[in-house]
Amino acid sequence: MGQSVTSEKKSLFFRFINGVEVVGNKLPHPFYLFCILCVIAVALSVIFGGASISYMSASSSGGGEKMVTATVRNLLNRETITYVTENMYKIYYNFAPMMMVGLLMLSIGLADQVGFFSALIRRTILGARPSLVFAVVSFIAINAHIASNAGVLGCTTVAAAVFALLGYNPWLGIILAYAAGNAGMAASIFAGNLDVLISGINVSVCTSLGIDPSTVHVLEHWYFLIASLVVLTVAYTLITTKFVRGFIGEPKDLSLVLGKETEHELTPVERRGLRNAGIAAVLFFVVLFALCFPQDSFFRAADGSIVPNSPLLKSVLTLLFLFFQITAMVYGRTTGAIAKWNDMPKMMSKSIGLVTSFMVIALPASLFIYLFNASNIPTVLGATGAQWLKEAGFNGLLLLIVVAVMTCFLDLFMTSGSSKWMILAPILIPMFYAVDISPALTALAYRIGDSAMNAVAPISSDVALIVGLLVAYNTDKDKTPGMGTVFAGCMPYAIVTIAIQIILLCVWWVFELPLGPGVTLFVK
């Protein structure tokens, strides 16, 4: 009886997620959908043009607070129209996801074509239990956000190729890495750029209010982040194994993305290629370490640090490109896959084919992101939500949970984590401080909500990229992936993330555990 109830619940959830995918994919092709969204953004700006709200905004650099008035801007004006017509090529070619993935695919595509990934996988994790593979990808993807979007997108692109070579559906690798990297932004082993921004805003607010800012530092949430990393890695592994893999389905024809069948047994020349590539990889990291070792290294921050914010972490995309380029080149030359040096640029040019569908979608997507932000609608929406929280009348732990849930909603329309917190912090920090809740705990409630919905945010600039990757790694000619595929696949991770981190928040509250070094939950 219990088993049938569980099966029924599972089937209901499957039907719900399937419904999300079906409805989502009933929408027009992403190219046309973003065109429609451009029209909607302009229409909303005309309808609500002039609507405004005043709020206190904090600085991320510790510069205090200032009163700001956010006004919805009518986009049908001479300045906006002439800017778009004169700079359309800049809006398009400066679209961050396209620039990042375009560069990375040159080297990842080369590594795939010369057989480096295939040989490496057959030498290492071929035959490993799926749960182990999912756990490793989850762990790496969650931590990838330390290097900002470049790390997450790089991990997602590599996961697609790796899953295909392992015989899994590459869509599963794309969804898992993208969802874990975005929904898991309130979990990590080290502090990252977001920690720098959040703590800087906290210092600004605390200083302006006369609150001791000594407990709002870069590591203010470190203990909670590490605990979340462990729990979410396990949770993502389980949900991928028990649910998402079945939802995505097994690959129908891997030859569509692999090109040819590969023997499992390594040949002597492949072994030699891996050995030489391994030597090249070691030398690469030795040189990188040597460049980072001096205190005045150009890869270090001005204060000599590397974590959480330094040129090294900001250069991760370039370093990933160089790493895959060098190891693939050495492997290809050893095995003969790159018979002549002129073969390498030809192979790299073929790699661009993997992102051509994304480049088409990116045209209207980049324009929509520009128009929506230029209208100032996201900022007005965020400020309105902050005012609502102030007047809601909740308190204590319940208010913390309400903050997390409301931030989830705002995240669907305003994806920049630091921008939302600049608006919310001057309202929430003093409101919570008045009932003896520390600024760090207030910021944590916000971060929990801000991270969970990232993977299903419809206005994220990365959605177009993920749809493009799904098209490039499609193993079923009868299926056409769309935004519904992305949101349906990522939704279980978003739901699990918010549920788990709210539970962890409750555990921290009940046992009054420290959030980070010297950081308590309550004002003593």
Question: pLDDT band at 199, cuts 50/70/90?
Answer: confident
Q: Single out the residue of 325, 327, 318 nearest to residue 276, CA to CA.
A: 327
Return the higher-pLDDT residue of 493 and 383.
493
Q: Residue 346 sits in which domain range? A: 2-511
Q: What is the pLDDT at residue 4? A: 44
Return the higher-pLDDT residue of 48 and 354.
48
pLDDT higher than 90, residue 179: yes
Q: What is the pLDDT at residue 87? A: 93
- Whether 235 is covered by a domain: the verdict is yes
* Count of domains forming the chain: 1
Q: What is the pLDDT at residue 284? A: 95
Which residues, including other chains, have CB under 8 Å from residue 449's CB and lie 6 or more apart?
403, 404, 405, 406, 407, 408, 410, 411, 498
Mean pLDDT value of segment 504-517 = 94
pLDDT higher than 70, residue 64: no
Return the higher-pLDDT residue of 319 and 197.
319
For the chain, percent of residues with pLDDT exceeding 90: 34
CA distance 82 to 76: 10
Q: Single out the residue of 502, 508, 501 nearest to residue 522, CA to CA.
A: 508
Return the top range by mean pLDDT from 95-104, 391-400, 410-419, 493-502. 493-502
Question: pLDDT band at 131, cuts 50/70/90?
Answer: very high
Return the higher-pLDDT residue of 330 and 67.
330
- Whether 521 is covered by a domain: the verdict is no
- Whether 45 is covered by a domain: the verdict is yes
CA distance 428 to 521: 15
pLDDT higher than 50, residue 157: yes
Burial string for 12-33 (b: 16+ CB within 10 Å, else e) reads eeeeebeebbeebbeeeebbeb
- Whether 242 is covered by a domain: the verdict is yes
Q: Single out the residue of 463, 357, 366 nearest to residue 24, CA to CA.
A: 463
Least confident of 316-325, 380-389, 496-505: 380-389
Return the higher-pLDDT residue of 438 and 28.
438
pLDDT higher than 80, residue 160: yes
Count the neighbouring beta carbons within 10 Å of the beta carbon of residue 523. 16
Q: What is the pLDDT at residue 34? A: 82
pLDDT higher than 60, residue 62: no
The radius of gyration of the chain from alpha carbons, rounded to an integer in Å, stands at 24
Least confident of 29-43, 159-173, 293-307, 418-432: 418-432
CA distance 410 to 383: 10
pLDDT higher than 90, residue 171: yes
pLDDT higher than 70, residue 1: no
- Whether 383 is covered by a domain: the verdict is yes
Q: What is the pLDDT at residue 3? A: 43
Reading phi first (left if > 0) and then psi (alpha if -120 to 50, else beta), residue 414 is in: beta
Q: What is the pLDDT at residue 225? A: 96
Mean pLDDT value of segment 162-168 = 88
- Whether 522 is covered by a domain: the verdict is no
- Whether 517 is covered by a domain: the verdict is no
Q: What is the pLDDT at residue 245? A: 94
Return the higher-pLDDT residue of 122 and 293.
293
Q: What is the pLDDT at residue 2? A: 42
pLDDT higher than 80, residue 90: yes
Question: pLDDT band at 509, cuts 50/70/90?
Answer: very high
pLDDT tens string 222-238: 999 999 999 999 999 99
pLDDT higher than 60, residue 259: no
pLDDT higher than 60, residue 371: yes
For the chain, percent of residues with pLDDT exceeding 70: 86
- Mean confidence (pLDDT) of the chain: 83
Which residues on adjacent β-strands are paired with residue 516? 519
Question: pLDDT band at 204, cuts 50/70/90?
Answer: confident
Question: pLDDT band at 351, cuts 50/70/90?
Answer: confident
pLDDT higher than 50, residue 502: yes
Question: pLDDT band at 7, cuts 50/70/90?
Answer: very low
pLDDT higher than 70, residue 269: yes
Question: pLDDT band at 390, cuts 50/70/90?
Answer: low
pTM: 0.75
- Whether 30 is covered by a domain: the verdict is yes
Q: What is the pLDDT at residue 6? A: 43
Give the alpha-carbon dihedral of 145, 350, 362, 32, to 10 degrees. Answer: -130
pLDDT higher than 80, residue 353: no
pLDDT higher than 50, residue 72: yes
